[in-house]
Amino acid sequence: MSTQRKAVALISGGLDSMLAARVIMDQGIHVEGINFFTGFCVEGHTHAIRKKDRAKPKRNNALWVAEQLGIKLHIIDVIEEYKDVLINPKHGYGQNMNPCLDCKCFMVHKAVEWIRAHDFDFIITGEVMGQRPMSQRRDTMPVVARESGADDLLLRPLCAKHLPPTLPEREGWVDREKLLDFHGRNRKPQMALARQLGIEDYAQPAGGCCFLTDRAYSDKLVDLWQARGEREYQLDDIMLLKVGRHIRPNPRFKLIIGREEGENRFLEGYRKQYVSLCPTSHKGPLVLLDGWPEEADLELAARITARYSQGRDAEQVTVAVRQGDGEERELTVAPMPPGEIPADWHV
Amino acid sequence: MNTKHIDARRLLCPMPVIRTQDAVADMQPGEQLVITCTDPGALKDIPAWCRINGHRVVETRQEGDDIIITVEVGA
């Protein structure tokens, strides 16, 4: 009796990884999914924070895909290990702060560790040659296989026919003839295959499951590093980059200003870690100060806070300034006129 | 029966699921895990994770902004 071979599939939640897993499952291979959480995964974070979005239906697409396929999904927290990938990418960044090629090498490497620990035979991904400008090119796909340590245990079912046969193909665990030859950015072949397999519902490809491909987010990350004088971050830092209006009057500090009730509530959870400001004479936002503000900075911060309150047109607004330890005092200030906030303060 | 509690408040998806997954890994079949979280995404994600991994959601309730989900560990 032949041994049933086992593969782990990198599941992003998109159509390609879903199809890749299904194509291999249909060849009788036992497939389980793996999904890595770097801290930068989009997965509805802003929906979870902003009140106006809270009623929108939301789901974790990787979990949803696993359920549709009927496979287990292992979600792995790689937040700490991922820092080195982002801070020191050997292959550099894409258009923004996205280290896509290093990221793919890292994730496949983690999958190699996982299959060794769990006695699985090979790894599959939904990569399509020519689909992504960094990590899915003819010349970079072998780099991923080599640098991840996966070598010929890495099978890309959707474009396998453009690549040399891998171990699972050579050993006859999977039939190469039933694998595919997709290429390029045209998604019609994937959609046709989905129809053929009876897959009707899937996450639409938006090219952005990672905040690091987003220009505005990347700008905030670069600003954070420049202000701190070092390329470092904690999970709270990168979460707060997703929230609020960020205004940096000088290198010592920036304000993170809640834009609505949901964001204010989210920022509330960070008040023990940051100096925070909140108008008391008028309704207004909760504001966190990130950095090392000096005494004079607090008045400036209070004036900006007042500008974003309902007292923006009042002569004076009273703002409570609270230290992380709970010590609180009030400042009464004139709201800063909108024209006096230079455009380049907006991060 | 042992019941374990985890606080996943302020954590955004998928962290509440990861915390659930890690806690369940150290528990025995039949034991219960109570997860307190604030991300509404957990209302879909934790039950989905339970379904694909053979666990059972016993109860889901809301107290103010807190979402409290009780999971019974499967075999």
For B20-46, how does the pLDDT look when each residue is reduced to its tens digit (9 = 90+)? 999 999 999 999 999 999 988 899 999
> Using CA atoms, how far apart are residues A115 and A256, in angstroms rounded to an integer?
42
Domain segments of chain B as ranges: 3-72
Is B56 an 8 Å CB contact of chain A? Answer: no
For A136-174, how does the pLDDT look when each residue is reduced to its tens digit (9 = 90+)? 888 889 999 999 999 999 999 999 999 999 999 999 999
Residue of A nearest to B49 (CA): A63
Instruction: Mark whether B37 is an active-site residue.
Output: no
Q: Do residue B52 and residue A63 have CB atoms under 8 angstroms apart? A: yes
Q: What is the pLDDT of residue A1?
A: 61
For B51-58, what is the mean pLDDT? 96
Q: Which domains does chain A have, with CATH numbers?
A: 6-211 (3.40.50.620), 243-345 (no CATH)
Mutation to test the B interface, candidates A54, A68, A69, A75, most B Cβ within 10 Å: A75
Residue of B nearest to A242 (CA): B12
Q: What is the pLDDT of residue A259?
A: 95
Q: Do residue A58 and residue B41 have CB atoms under 8 angstroms apart? A: yes
> Using CA atoms, how far apart are residues A178 and A189, in angstroms rounded to an integer?
15
Residues of chain A short of pLDDT 50, as ranges, are 206-207
Q: Do residue B52 and residue A74 have CB atoms under 8 angstroms apart? A: no
Q: Which residues of chain B have a CB within 8 Å of the CB of A44?
A: 13, 41
Amino acid, res. A5: R
Q: Hey, how many other C-beta atoms are within 10 angstroms of the C-beta on A150?
A: 21
* Unique residue bearing structure tokens 């904690």: A234
CATH for B3-72, among 3.30.750.24, 3.30.420.40, 3.40.50.410, 3.30.110.40?
Answer: 3.30.110.40
Residue of A nearest to B9 (CA): A269
Q: Which residues of chain B have a CB within 8 Å of the CB of A31?
A: none
> Using CA atoms, how far apart are residues A246 and A242, in angstroms rounded to an integer?
10
Q: Which residues of chain A have a CB within 8 Å of the CB of B48?
A: 59-60, 63-64, 67
Is A58 an 8 Å CB contact of chain B? Answer: yes
Amino acid, res. B38: T
Q: What is the pLDDT of residue A145?
A: 96
Residue of A nearest to B40 (CA): A48
Is B41 an 8 Å CB contact of chain A? Answer: yes
Q: Do residue B41 and residue A60 have CB atoms under 8 angstroms apart? A: yes
Which among A48, A67, A266 is the nearest to B52, CB-wise? A67
Tell me phi and psi for residue A279, to 5 degrees.
Answer: -65, 140
Write the DSSP symbol of residue A154.
E
Q: What is the pLDDT of residue A2?
A: 76
CB B20 within 8 A of CB A63: no
Q: Which residues of chain B have a CB within 8 Å of the CB of A59?
A: 41, 44-45, 48
Which residue among B13, B34, B43, B68 is the active-site one? B13
Mutation to test the B interface, candidates A60, A82, A288, most B Cβ within 10 Å: A60
Distance from CA of A43 to the nearest CA of B (A): 7
Cβ within 8 Å of residue A233, ≥6 positions away: A83, A221, A224, A225
Tell me phi and psi for residue A248, to 5 degrees.
Answer: -115, 100
Distance from CA of B11 to the nearest CA of A (A): 10
Q: Hey, how many other C-beta atoms are within 10 angstroms of the C-beta on A201?
A: 7
Q: In chain B, what's the furthest Cα-to-Cα distance? A: 33
Is A73 an 8 Å CB contact of chain B? Answer: yes
Q: Which residues of chain B have a CB within 8 Å of the CB of A70?
A: 52
